[in-house]
């Protein structure tokens, strides 16, 4: 199976979970993703193929710039790489992120089953289409010129399927979040496919938590360069709350004046190890971060900036487990007000309990793997039919 995904660690981790479940069931798995995720793939024991440079930082560049300068080359590289694999090995199917157009094009060219994984509710919006007697997702309207360029990147010598625009819908679409976040979804909502690769916290952090229990945990996501705004706001609010802080950020570090006693910084920590011991999580609204907070039953303040983050924040607010601050309004006073309002909410404990029950599903990756394997088997049966 070829698993194709581009993005940050939060985008890749669900594919690692599904890949491990497929591998456990006896299927060969190759993960095609950005070079920065090779250590993650190796740690998980998955075969890795590099496609593209590190994911660009989340900044204020326009969408068309990201598409032209980053995504299009990745689409072409991943289509070529998957097709090359299909020429040399018995490829049984492609499992693609809903934004990884190269995976979709490769499956079309190689004529193998395609499974599309949707990581957040926004991925369903405006893309539903009745197809073949079932409900599938209509691919994003990238435009025929872009699709033709990606199709042309396939391996030489392989007959190409007829050019169509847009690409045909996936043979199988799975939403990797609970149905409660998209009650009207006509596609299967599998749940969050959690995968715990980190075992325990480092000794210094353990000592910090022993002397500074129930901290505020603050992250703007692994792809963010604007985390300083989050760190400054949390530092100001924590002084009023007399609360410790744990700052997390791969691409941004808190300023020296923010890193005072009662605060600690780490580049990355598996949130499943930290959030059960936290008072509250301040974050950007990434679906993986939201999922871990729901799983831990941790209250949240979300300052969404772009992509699926505003949608995820609204879904969390509907569950009663968070407050939302507009990214441009994030400062110490606004954060302090949001935290106090959330913690004073009479229904908060019940909402957190309900959210935890919704998120707890350790079989999600296994269920996804079974559905993907069943699709592959049906494809083999069709090919074997007279």
Residues of the chain predicted below pLDDT 50: 129-136, 141-142, 155-167, 383, 385-386
User: pLDDT digits over 283-295, tens only?
Assistant: 999 999 999 999 9
Write out the E strands in the chain. Answer: 2-4, 30-33, 47-50, 94-97, 114-118, 128-131, 134-137, 172-175, 188-189, 216-219, 245-248, 263-266, 280-283, 300-302, 322-324
Is 179 within 8 Å of 361 (Cβ atoms)?
no
CA distance to 227, 238, 253, 262, 337, per residue, from 258 (Å) = 13, 11, 10, 10, 20
Residues 6+ apart with CB under 8 A from 361: 178, 190, 191, 192
User: pLDDT digits over 290-337, tens only?
Assistant: 999 999 999 999 999 888 999 999 999 999 999 999 999 999 999 999
Task: Give which of 133, 122, 66 is closest to 98, Cα–Cα.
Answer: 122
Crossing angle of helices 72-88 and 144-151, rounded to 10°: 40
pLDDT at res. 367: 96
pLDDT at res. 50: 94
């Amino acid at each position: 199976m070829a698993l194709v995904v581009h993005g940050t660690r939060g985008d890749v981790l669900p594919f690692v979970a599904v890949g491990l479940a497929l591998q456990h069931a006896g299927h060969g798995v190759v993960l095609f993703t950005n070079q920065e995720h090779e250590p993650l793939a190796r740690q998980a024991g998955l075969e890795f193929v590099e496609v593209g440079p590190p994911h660009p930082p989340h900044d204020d560049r326009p969408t068309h710039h990201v598409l032209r300068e980053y995504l299009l080359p990745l689409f072409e590289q991943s289509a070529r790489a998957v097709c090359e694999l299909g020429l040399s090995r018995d490829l049984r199917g492609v499992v693609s992120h809903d934004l990884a157009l190269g995976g979709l094009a490769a499956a079309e060219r190689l004529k193998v089953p395609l499974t599309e994984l949707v990581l957040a509710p926004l991925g369903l919006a405006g893309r539903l289409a009745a197809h073949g007697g079932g409900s599938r997702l209509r691919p994003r309207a990238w435009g025929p010129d872009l699709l033709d360029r990606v199709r042309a990147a396939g391996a030489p010598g392989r007959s190409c399927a007829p050019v169509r625009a847009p690409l045909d819908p996936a043979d199988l679409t799975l939403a990797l979040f609970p149905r409660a976040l998209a009650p009207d979804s006509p596609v299967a909502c599998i749940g969050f496919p959690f995968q715990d690769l980190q075992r325990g916290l480092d000794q210094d952090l353990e000592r910090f938590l022993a002397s500074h229990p129930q901290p505020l945990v603050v992250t703007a996501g692994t792809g963010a360069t604007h985390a300083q705004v989050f760190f400054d706001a949390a530092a100001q609010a924590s002084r009023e709350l007399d609360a410790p802080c744990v700052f997390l950020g791969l691409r941004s570090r808190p300023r020296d004046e923010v890193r005072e006693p009662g605060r600690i910084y780490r580049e990355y920590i598996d949130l499943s190890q930290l959030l059960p011991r936290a008072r509250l999580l301040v974050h950007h609204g990434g679906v993986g971060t939201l999922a871990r907070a729901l799983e831990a039953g941790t209250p949240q303040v979300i300052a969404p900036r772009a992509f699926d983050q505003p949608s995820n924040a609204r879904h969390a607010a509907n569950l009663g487990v968070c407050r939302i601050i507009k990214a441009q309004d994030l400062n110490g006073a606004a954060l302090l007000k949001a935290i106090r309002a959330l913690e004073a909410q009479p229904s908060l404990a019940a909402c957190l309990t309900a959210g935890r029950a919704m998120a707890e599903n350790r079989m999600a990756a296994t269920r996804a793997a079974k559905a993907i394997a069943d699709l592959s088997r049906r494809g083999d049966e069709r090919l074997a039919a007279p």
